[in-house]
Amino acid sequence: MIAFVARRLALVVPVLLGLSLLLFVWLRLLPGDPARALLGERATQEGIDRVNHLYGFDRSLPEQFLLFLGRLARGDLGSSIRTGQSVVDSFLERFPATVELAVAGLGLAVVAGIPLGYLAARRRGGPLDHLSVGASLLGVVVPVFFLAYLLKYVFAIRLGWLPTAGRQDVRLDATHPTGLYVLDGVLTGEWDAAWDALRHLILPAMALGAIPLAIIVRITRASVLEVMNEDFVRTARAKGLTRAVIRRRHVMRNALLPVSTTIGLQAGALLAGAVLTETVFALNGVGEFLFTAVNHLDYPVLQGFVLFIAVIYAIVNLLVDVSYAVIDPRARQR
C-alpha cells in the first residue's frame, strides 16, 4: 500500500509543473493589462510602468516564469494586485466557505443519490425507475445558476423560508475559530449561530449538489444492474443466501466501486470552487474570489488559487485511489 501511495504522489509533481506552465501562458494570453485594470480609466503611463515594475511584468516572459517557479519553491505565491493581501492568506480566508458548501452539496448528493439509484435498479422499468432517470437527466441539463436563482426566488423571496444570501446573519455575534460556520457554532455551543449558518447553507447546497446527485443516481443504478446480472450473484442465490446478505455482501460492495470513484471526482470538482453558486448566494468563497480576480486580471491570485485547487484535487483523488485499492486489491497492481 505504501508503494501504491508513493507512485500516486510521484505523479503529482510533473502534473503541477505542467499546470504551472499552462496556467502562466494562458494568463499572459488574456486580453487586457493588469496594471490598467488596477489603476482604472485615469491611469497614467508613469503609474502603469510603476505597477509593472513592482510586480515584474516588465520582464521577459521566460524570466517571469522562472521567478514564479522560484517563489513557488519557497512557498511564496505573492500578493493580490487588487487587495495587496497575501495570496496564501486570501485562500485560507475563503477556503472554509468553499469546503463547507462542497461538503454539504456532496453529502446531499451521496445520501440521496445512492439509495435512489439502488431502488431504481431494483425496480427497473417501474415508476420509481422512470422518475429517477428523468429527474437525473433534468438535474444534469438544468444550469446551476438557473437552479440557484429558481431556488432563491421560490424558497427565499416568495415563501420567505430561507435566507437569500450570505453565510450567516450579520447581526449575530458569533465566534469562528475554524471558519466553518456550522461546525463553529457546534464547537462553541452557539446553537443559534449554528442553526442560522445551516439555514444559509441549505439553498446553495441544493443548487450545487443537483448535478452530482444526478450523476450518482445514474452511476449507482447502472452499476447495481450490472452486478445483479453477474454469475457470482446467481451463484449466491442458488446457494440459498438471503436477499439481505446478497445485497450487502455481493451487490452493493461491488457496485460501489465505480460509485466511489465518481464521488471522489465530484468532490474534487466541488472543492475546486463553485463559482456560480458562490456568486449567486454571495458566499465569499474561493470561486467568487476567482471570478473577481479574472475580471481584474489579478495574476498572482489566479496562479496561486488554481495551484492550490490542483493540489487539493490531487489529494482528494489520491484518497479515492487508496479507498478503491482497499475495496478492490486488484487496483494496487495497476
State the Cα–Cα distance between residues 101 and 109, nearest whole angstrom: 12
Task: Average the pLDDT over 70-92 and give the result.
Answer: 80
What was the pLDDT predicted at 230? 74
Q: Which residues contact 255 (CB under 8 A, 6 or more apart)?
A: 118, 220, 223, 224, 226, 227
Confidence tier at 325 by pLDDT (50, 70, 90)? low
State the Cα–Cα distance between residues 260 and 324, nearest whole angstrom: 7
Question: Where are any strands of DSSP class E within 166-276?
Answer: none
Q: What does the block give as the cell for 203? A: 439553498
Confidence tier at 330 by pLDDT (50, 70, 90)? low
Confidence tier at 3 by pLDDT (50, 70, 90)? confident
Is the whole model's pTM more than 0.95, yes or no? Answer: no
pLDDT tops 80 at residue 28 = no
Spatial CA neighbour of 279 closest among 105, 93, 144: 144
What was the pLDDT predicted at 326? 67
Q: What's the mean pLDDT when you consider all of the chain? A: 80
pLDDT tops 70 at residue 332 = no
State the Cα–Cα distance between residues 23 and 31, nearest whole angstrom: 15
Q: Which residues contact 3 (CB under 8 A, 6 or more apart)?
A: none
Spatial CA neighbour of 118 closest among 15, 239, 21, 222: 222
State the Cα–Cα distance between residues 274 and 288, nearest whole angstrom: 8
pLDDT tops 80 at residue 108 = yes
Lowest mean pLDDT among 17-21, 110-114, 250-254, 286-290: 250-254
**How many alpha carbons fall within 13 Å on the CB side of residue 50?**
7
pLDDT tops 60 at residue 334 = no
| Bridge partner residues of 86 (DSSP) | 79
What was the pLDDT predicted at 327? 62
What was the pLDDT predicted at 246? 73
State the Cα–Cα distance between residues 128 and 121, nearest whole angstrom: 9
Spatial CA neighbour of 299 closest among 18, 45, 71, 93: 71
Residue 333 or residue 124, greater confidence: 124
Confidence tier at 181 by pLDDT (50, 70, 90)? confident
Query: 65 φ, ψ to 5°?
Result: -65, -40
* Percent of the chain's residues with pLDDT above 70: 93
Confidence tier at 79 by pLDDT (50, 70, 90)? confident
What was the pLDDT predicted at 247? 74
**How many alpha carbons fall within 13 Å on the CB side of residue 102?**
25
pLDDT tops 60 at residue 273 = no
Per-range mean pLDDT, top range of 41-45, 104-108, 122-126: 104-108
* Percent of the chain's residues with pLDDT above 90: 2
Confidence tier at 83 by pLDDT (50, 70, 90)? confident
Per-residue pLDDT of 119-170, as tens digits, reads 888 877 778 778 877 887 787 788 888 888 899 999 988 888 888 888 888 7
Query: 58 φ, ψ to 5°?
Result: -85, 0
What was the pLDDT predicted at 244? 72
* Helix, strand, coil share of the chain (percent; to 5): 75, 0, 25
